[in-house]
A and B are shown apart, each in its own frame.
Chain A
Amino acid sequence: MLSFKGTSSYIASAELQEIVTLAFDLQKPLLIRGEPGTGKTVLARAVSEALKLPLLTWHIKSSSKAQDGLYVYDTVQRLNDSRFGTGDVQDIKKYIKLGPLGQAFASPTRSIVLIDEIDKADIEFPNDLLHELDAMSFAIPETGETITARERPVIIITSNAEKELPDAFLRRCIFHYIAFPEADEMRTILKVHHPRVDEKLVSAALLRFYWLREQAEIRKKPSTSELVDWIGALSRAGVDVKSLEKEVPFLGVLLKKEGDIQALKQGSKRSHSSRF
C-alpha cells in the first residue's frame, strides 16, 4: 500500500498523512478545505513528488465547465485546416484535446489530478462531474470513443469555502480541513523554508505574527505563506530582534488590504492612549 509521509519541503501532520493514505487506498477523491495559505494546493504537488506520480492540474475559473476537464473539440482549428488545406482533416481525433481529467483517465500509469479551487466555478459544476468521478470513464461522441481509466487517478480537490458544495458530491469525498498550524508546527515549517535564520528572530516574529492574527479589526488574516515571505524580508534587511517588540516592519508583506493596515494603526493608537 502506498503511503504518504510528506516531503523534505512539505511538512504533513500525522493526521494529514493518515488521510491522504486513506483517500489513496479507498480511491476516493480527497476534498481539502482550509484558510487561504495553509498549503492546500501545495499538498497535491507534495503528494505527486513523494509518490513519484505525474501531477495534472486543473485550475478552476468562474467560467470553467465540467466538460473542459474531460476534453475540448477544437472546431475552429479543424475548420481552418479544412479551409487552408493544412493538416489531415479526416482524422477527427487530432482535434480532440483531452483536459486534465481526460489525460489522467487515458494515461497508462496512475496519476494525480488536482482540481484547484472548485468553489470558483458555477454552483452546478461539482454535480456535473459526479458521473465521471464515479465511473472514471466518459464518452467522446465525436469519435465514438469511450475513455476508461486504466488506473484510477488520485483526485485532490481544494476549496476555499466560498460556495457550499452539493451534498451528493460531498458524500463521495474524503474530507479534510487543514487547521491553521500552531506555533510549534509553524516553527518546523519555517525551518524548511529558512534553515539559516536566527532562532530568536523567528521566535519574536512568530509572537508578532500570532498577535496580529488575533486582532479583531483585521479582515484578511495573514497566513503561512505571508509569514514565510515576511521572515525572509526581515532576515534580508537585518532587522533587529528588539525592534519587533515595538513595531511591525514590512507590514505590507503581512497585510494585503489597505483597510487592515489603517485599522491596525488606529487600534494601536487607541490602546496606546488608554494606557496613559
Chain B
Amino acid sequence: MFVDFLYHLRFYGLKVSSNEWLTLLEALDRGHAAESLSRFYYLARAICCRSEQDYDPFDRAFAEFFKDVSYPGSLQNDFEKWLKDAKAPRLLTEAEKAAMKAMSLDELQKMFEERLAEQKERHDGGNRWVGTGGTSPFGHGGFNPAGIRVGGEGQNRSAVQIASKRLFQNFRKDIIIDTRQIGLALKKLRFWGRDGAADELDIEGSIEATGKNAGDIQLVFRPARKNHVKLLLLMDVGGSMTYHSELCEHLFSAAHQIAHFKEFRHYYFHNCPYDFMFTDVEQDQRVLTKDILRDLDSTWMVIWVGDAAMSPYELTAVGGAIDYFQQNREPGLEWIAKMKKHFPRSVWLNPEPKEYWERASNKLVRSVFPDMYPMSLQGIEDAIKALKQQQQRGL
C-alpha cells in the first residue's frame, strides 16, 4: 500500500525510487513509526526528501494523501467569496424569494461545506488507508477525519496538520537546468598556474636535484597548482530578461558557488552597458564602467549574459539608453565594442533560442561581438571552449 504513496510523491515531483521505498519499508519494519502518524511523517520526509526544497511538495502530497484537510486558498475559499458576491437571480416568484431569505449566509455556507466534504470523500475514496479501520498498519482504526480538525488538544498535533501548514513553502523551486550541471560545465574553465608559498613537494625536481647532489637527497618544493581564471559576469536584467531570470540565477549561483576561480565579480546592466553599470539587480548601486575597465585588466575573462533584444537606437544613438537617467554620451554599441577590446577573452550567452537571433539589435551586437552562444548546457560548454581557445591564441 505504500507503493501508492510513493507514486503520489512522484506525482508531486519528488524523485523517489524503489531505493527510498525499500528504505522506508525497512524503517517501518524496525518499528520506527510505531503507532504514530506524525512519526511516520518525519520518517518518510527524512527518507524521501533530498533538500529543503522538497519539503513543500512533500507536505502537500502528504496532506492530500492522508486526509481531506482544507488548504488555504483552496476552492472552498473561492466558493465562500462567490456566495458573498452572489447576485439575485431575476424572475423569481415571491415564494421562492421568501424561501431564500429563510436561509442565512451562515447556514448556506455550512450546508455548502457539508456538501463539499461529502464530495471530497467520494472523490478521494480508495487510497486513504488511514481511517479505514482494521487495514491500517498503524492501528489507527478509529482515526476520524473530523477529529483532526476539531480536536486540536495538546499532543494531537497530527502529522497532517503539520504537513498542511506548509512551513517550507518558501523553499520551492522548479528547476529546469540545475545549478549543479552548470557548475560542472563552468568547472572546465580553468588555467593552471603556480604562485604563492612553496608548500608542495616537487617530485621530479627533487629527483633531479638529488641526482645532481650525487644521491644525497635534496627536497625541492614549489607552490601548489591553482586555477588562474578571473571571471567577470555581466548580466542583463529587467525588461525582456525577466522571462529568463531563473536560468540566469542558476548560472549566477553556479559561478558564485564554484570556489575554484581566482577572482569572481559580477555587474548588472539593462539591455546594454553605458557609462555606468550596477552592482545589484535592483539597479540602485552604480559603478562607472570606466572604473571597471581601470580596475580589471585584460587577463579577466568575461561572460556576458543578455538577450540582445532591444530597439536598435539603444545601441546606436547618443542618449539612446532605455533608462533616461543614463544620458549616455556614447552609443551603447561603442561601449560593447570598447569592452570587447579591453577584455579580449569574452563570450556572450544568449538565453533566447537561436531562431530569434535575426532581430536587428542582435545582429548589431554580433557585428562587434561575434562570440555569441545560446544559453543551453551545450551552449555554455561551447562558450567555455571558445574562451579557452581565445586564451590559447594568446589574445
A and B co-occur in one complex: yes
Most buried by B among A23, A122, A164: A164
Instruction: Point out the residues of chain B lying under 8 angstroms from A171, CB to CB.
Output: 17, 19-20, 50
Q: Could you tell me the distance between the alpha carbons of A19 and B51 in the complex, rounded to whole angstroms?
A: 15
The residues in B between 17 and 55 inclusive whose CB is less than 8 angstroms from any CB of A are 17, 19-20, 23, 26-27, 30, 32, 39, 42-43, 46-47, 49-52, 55
A-B contact count (CB 8 A): 84
Instruction: Point out the residues of chain A lying under 8 angstroms from B50, CB to CB.
Output: 167, 170-171, 173, 175
Known A123-B187, A164-B179; judge A175-B46 contact (CB<8 A): yes
Instruction: Point out the residues of chain B lying under 8 angstroms from A179, CB to CB.
Output: 167-168
A152: interface (CB < 8 Å): no
Q: Does B42 contact A175, Cβ atoms closer than 8 Å? A: no
Known A22-B27, A33-B51, A179-B167; judge A164-B43 contact (CB<8 A): no
The interface size of chain B toward A, counting residues with CB under 8 Å, comes to 36
User: What string of 1s and 0s marks CB contacts (under 8 Å) between A57-97 and chain B?
Assistant: 00000110000000000011001101100000000000000
Q: Does B26 contact A19, Cβ atoms closer than 8 Å? A: no
Q: Does B30 contact A123, Cβ atoms closer than 8 Å? A: no
Most buried by A among B47, B49, B187, B216: B47
B131: interface (CB < 8 Å): no
Distance in angstroms from B66 CB to nearest chain A CB is: 17
Beyond the given A62-B259, A167-B15, could you list 5 further A-B residue pairs with CB under 8 A, ordered by the A residue number?
A19-B46, A28-B23, A79-B217, A175-B46, A179-B167
CB<8 Å pairs between A and B, sample of 10: A21-B32, A25-B27, A26-B27, A33-B52, A79-B217, A80-B217, A123-B184, A164-B180, A174-B47, A176-B46
Q: Does A15 contact B180, Cβ atoms closer than 8 Å? A: no
B219: interface (CB < 8 Å): yes
Instruction: Point out the residues of chain A lying under 8 angstroms from B51, CB to CB.
Output: 33, 161, 164, 170, 175, 177
Q: Does A25 contact B30, Cβ atoms closer than 8 Å? A: yes
Distance in angstroms from B212 CB to nearest chain A CB is: 16
Q: Does B217 contact A123, Cβ atoms closer than 8 Å? A: no
Distance in angstroms from A6 CB to nearest chain B CB is: 15
Instruction: Point out the residues of chain B lying under 8 angstroms from A185, CB to CB.
Output: none
B183: interface (CB < 8 Å): yes
Known A26-B23, A175-B50; judge A18-B217 contact (CB<8 A): no
Question: 8 smallest A-B Cβ distances: which pairs?
Answer: A177-B52, A170-B50, A164-B180, A15-B42, A83-B217, A19-B46, A18-B42, A163-B257
Instruction: Point out the residues of chain A lying under 8 angstroms from B219, CB to CB.
Output: 76, 79
Distance in angstroms from B211 CB to nearest chain A CB is: 15
A194: interface (CB < 8 Å): no
Instruction: Point out the residues of chain B lying under 8 angstroms from A162, CB to CB.
Output: 257
Distance in angstroms from A213 CB to nearest chain B CB is: 14
User: What string of 1s and 0s marks CB contacts (under 8 Å) between B185-198 and chain A?
Assistant: 00100000000000
Instruction: Point out the residues of chain A lying under 8 angstroms from B27, CB to CB.
Output: 22, 25-26
Q: Could you tell me the distance between the alpha carbons of A170 and B42 in the complex, rounded to whole angstroms?
A: 17
The residues in B between 225 and 274 inclusive whose CB is less than 8 angstroms from any CB of A are 257-260
Instruction: Point out the residues of chain A lying under 8 angstroms from B26, CB to CB.
Output: 26
Q: Does B217 contact A163, Cβ atoms closer than 8 Å? A: no
Q: Does A177 contact B55, Cβ atoms closer than 8 Å? A: yes
Q: Which residue of B lies closest to A122 (CB)?
A: B260
B360: interface (CB < 8 Å): no
Distance in angstroms from A258 CB to nearest chain B CB is: 15
Instruction: Point out the residues of chain B lying under 8 angstroms from A22, CB to CB.
Output: 27, 32, 43, 46
